[in-house]
Amino acid sequence: MMRTLSSWLLFAFALIWAAPAHATTILDVPNPRDSGAWVTDLADVLSDADEETINVAIDAIEEETGVEIALVTVDQVTAPSTKDFTTGLFNLWGVGKSDANNGLLIVLVMGERRLEMETGYGLESVLTDGWLATMQAEKMVPHFKQENFGPGLVSGVNAVIERLRAYAEELPQTAGEARPKSTLVRLADSNSDGATRSEEDPPTSGAWCCCGILVLLLVWSIGRRKRATRCPHCETRLVPMPDSKVETILTNAQRLERAIGSRRFTFLECPGCQHSKVIYQDLRNFNTCPQCDRRTLEIRVETLVTATTSSPGRRRLFENCLNCNHKSHHDETTPRVPKTTSSTSRTVIIRDDDDDDDDRGGFFSSSSSSSSSSWSDSNSSSSDSSSWSAGNSSSSGSSSGSSRRKKSSGSFGGGKSGGGGAGSSW
């Protein structure tokens, strides 16, 4: 009898052990903004310290730039693919501001051994698919191969935030950001004698003035466009150049700019005198090289001195031109970290890997459409090692965070996914 009972118990234990993890739908994932956080750790892979570090860092970048970043870990998903799950969750929550679509959703699916990153359209020019894929391979996947998921996620979020700060001027502005008032608006707000118009005065003169200026601008723009599309020699309308001919006249530098997506070219020619003209549009994922004047300059940012609420920081910008191999670097000052409005102020510290200070609110520094990565079981060491580990304390599983951080409930800004993506397996 006892032998039979023991056999049944062993069989039941084996069934429980082999049972798959609960598959999660997008409706099952708690929204972290309900508790004022940015992280939902259903897979329980983050320590309290890791989760707190990520939440504080995302708080800071959201205050600085308006960008919203959400991080989710789950065991299994019911969607046809992890990409479908990520896109659906992104749009369900509305990550990012509605008028800028500046959201980023990071999803780690443990059962599929897969990492997904999805961006709103407003971030695709800064957090490009190529940059995100390279960053994941260098900063996150090596940690995941060692089962260090907390440090890997912290390293990835850190790299994204460094990128956003380096290209802050290229990020889309939201409705809440201050913009300088234009000269036209100031002219419309006052009378010709300099006195401010009262609310009762009918705004006819200012309105007519604005309308007249707009009409003049429209006429000037149309005339300029017509001149731009006509041959300067014989006034014949320029037509698009055949692709076969374009390939014969492209320079090596132009081919490189086209290949890396830094410039978009339009070639026109005159059917009468064969005069040709090239019109190019600068895109925002590269910079203009001071040496060769081509838009092929990459910039990498390294933090030297961390900014605090009381003092500015310093960072070093490394420049590398893909066209002429120009290389240089220079240092610049970074602004102080803004103080929070809560009664207990906090300081967000970006520190280097060799920083031994025990700043639990700190955030480690490293050396952005959407992208995904996965990793394989191996004993290869991490290429982005840090001086700490995930720790022994685990999170409660749904954006619990730490009591050190004062939270207030809220919601995401209503952004939409841009739809891009890439992936690999681990």
247 has a pLDDT exceeding 60: yes
- In whole angstroms, give the CA distance from residue 314 to residue 25: 44
- In whole angstroms, give the CA distance from residue 271 to residue 179: 45
Is 196 strand, coil or helix? Answer: strand
Mean pLDDT to the nearest integer, 355-369 = 39
- In whole angstroms, give the CA distance from residue 43 to residue 390: 14
Q: What confidence score (pLDDT) does residue 336 get?
A: 78
Mean pLDDT to the nearest integer, 375-404 = 40
400 has a pLDDT exceeding 70: no
Most confidently modeled range among 62-66, 204-208, 226-230 = 62-66
Angle formed at CA 169 by CA 297 and CA 422, multiple of 5 degrees = 65
Which residues are within 8 A (CB) of 423 and not within 5 positions of it... i.e. 6 or more apart? 82, 83, 114, 116, 371, 372, 373, 374
Query: In the structure, what pLDDT confidence band is assigned to residue 206 with cuts at 50, 70 and 90?
Result: low
Pair of tokens at residue 94: 């509305």
- In whole angstroms, give the CA distance from residue 83 to residue 370: 10
Mean pLDDT to the nearest integer, 250-279 = 86
Judge contact between 332 and 27, C-beta under 8 A.
no
Query: In the structure, what pLDDT confidence band is assigned to residue 367 with cuts at 50, 70 and 90?
Result: very low
Q: What confidence score (pLDDT) does residue 24 get?
A: 87
174 has a pLDDT exceeding 50: yes
Dihedral, CA atoms, 188, 192, 194, 200, nearest 10 degrees?
-60
Pair of tokens at residue 177: 């950001």
Mean pLDDT to the nearest integer, 125-154 = 90
Judge contact between 376 and 425, C-beta under 8 A.
yes
Q: State percent of the chain over pLDDT 90.
A: 28
Pair of tokens at residue 384: 């982005």
Judge contact between 107 and 72, C-beta under 8 A.
yes
Amino acid found at 126: V
pLDDT in tens, 60-85: 999 999 999 999 999 999 888 888 89
Query: In the structure, what pLDDT confidence band is assigned to residue 425 with cuts at 50, 70 and 90?
Result: low
DSSP secondary-structure letter at 121? G
- In whole angstroms, give the CA distance from residue 149 to residue 157: 12
Amino acid found at 362: G
179 has a pLDDT exceeding 50: no
Average the pLDDT over each of 133-142, 226-235, 334-343, 368-377 and give the range with the smallest value: 368-377
First CA to last CA across the chain, in angstroms?
A: 47
Q: What residues form DSSP beta bridges with 320?
A: 298, 327
Secondary structure tally for the chain: helices H, strands E: 10, 15
Mean pLDDT to the nearest integer, 204-210 = 59
Is 129 strand, coil or helix? Answer: helix
Q: What confidence score (pLDDT) does residue 208 get?
A: 63
Q: What residues form DSSP beta bridges with 268?
A: 240, 277
Between residues 224 and 291, the one the model is more confident about: 291
Judge contact between 402 and 48, C-beta under 8 A.
yes
Buried b (16+ CB within 10 A) or exposed e, 116-146: bbbbbbbbbbbbbbebbbebbebbbbbbbbb
Q: What confidence score (pLDDT) does residue 196 get?
A: 35
pLDDT in tens, 9-60: 555 544 444 444 568 899 999 999 999 999 999 999 999 989 999 999 999 9
Q: What confidence score (pLDDT) does residue 36 get?
A: 92
Q: What confidence score (pLDDT) does residue 12 get?
A: 52
Q: Is 77 left (phi over 0), alpha (psi -120 to 50) or beta?
A: beta
The average confidence (pLDDT) of the chain is: 73
Q: What residue ranges define each of the domains in the chain, with the CATH number in brackets?
A: 14-170+364-426 (3.10.310.50), 226-282 (no CATH)
- Sign (positive/negative) of CA torsion 229, 231, 237, 240? negative
pLDDT in tens, 91-113: 999 999 998 899 999 999 999 88
Is 320 strand, coil or helix? Answer: strand
Q: What confidence score (pLDDT) does residue 349 get?
A: 38
